[in-house]
Amino acid sequence: MSAIGGGDSGPGGDRRLVICHLYPEYLNIYADRGNIAVLSRRAAWRGIAVEVRSIGLGEDVPVGEVDLLYVGGGQDREQALVAPDIAGKADQLRAALADGTVLLAVCGGYQLLGRSYRDQAGAELPGAGILPLHTVAGPRRLIGDVLLDCELDPGDRHTVAGFENHAGRTLLDPGAEPFGRLVAGFGNDGESGFEGCRLGRALGTYLHGPLLPRNPWLADWLLVQALARRETAVPVLAPLADTFEHEAHAVAAQRARDRGGRS
């Protein structure tokens, strides 16, 4: 495991976070690494020091040390390379979540956090079994702008804008909670009206773009949840202007609305 980045600290710099990026050399399609950059920078602007570590094949998850885990997307070849390894880390991932660690997984990483993924060649890849779902590749890719309606905290509703490009049809178990409900786009399977999956502080989604630059509220939600692992009081973040971020969200949201519903 190696450090691949960091954050500076300003006033209030006694706050700190450890973010672990799983398989950055394999799962980093569509600029998904940008999500790490957004989290690190938004934390640093508030004087929160961030250490970013990479976790590769055969390396352990530092349970008890990590505040946020991140898994990006990859193509079938890269997923096949990491699938046995992430399945072997299942107990460590569960222990980290039980310790209060936050988890964000995008596209290929999202699929591999379920029980299994059957790729287009028919190979059954093992998953970590963290999220209550499984995925089977479909006959065509689901591609385009997406807009979701999300309510991660009771009464606090937001929209999430992103871009999807996946062949997988992800099926949630009965009673499983989606990340959001579709306003426009295909989502998990093109039929259910759901996108992603949420289990406590663990989020899985198909949304690339990368996801967090155009959804600053979600980046801050993840930071608050990560800080809560270390802090006894409810964490509070100083507000940021987010002018460009809100403009980026508005443009992406309008593209998704113009695209219309699922087709």
The CATH number for 94's domain is 3.40.50.880
Q: Say if CB 249 and CB 121 are below 8 A apart.
A: no
Give the full edge-to-edge strand order of the sheet including 68-71. 2-6, 49-55, 16-22, 68-71, 102-106, 202-205, 197-199
Residue of 236, 221, 235 lying closest to 179 (CA atoms): 221
Residue ranges of the chain whose pLDDT lies below 50: 2-12, 263
pTM of this prediction? 0.93
Confidence (pLDDT) at 121: 87
Residue of 126, 103, 116 lying closest to 222 (CA atoms): 103
Structure tokens at 133: 């779902």
Number of compact structural domains in the chain = 1
User: What whole-number distance in Å separates Cα of residue 148 and Cα of residue 236?
Assistant: 25
**Tokens 């630059």 correspond to what residue?**
213
Confidence (pLDDT) at 13: 54
Domain span holding position 215: 2-259
Q: In this predicted model, what pLDDT tens digit does every residue of 123-142 receive, in sequence order?
A: 899 999 999 999 999 999 99
Confidence (pLDDT) at 261: 57
Confidence (pLDDT) at 5: 42
Give, for 46, the enclosing helix (H) or strand (E): none
Residues labelled catalytic: 107, 208
Q: Which stretches does DSSP call E strand in 131-201?
A: 133-153, 156-172, 180-184, 194-195, 197-199
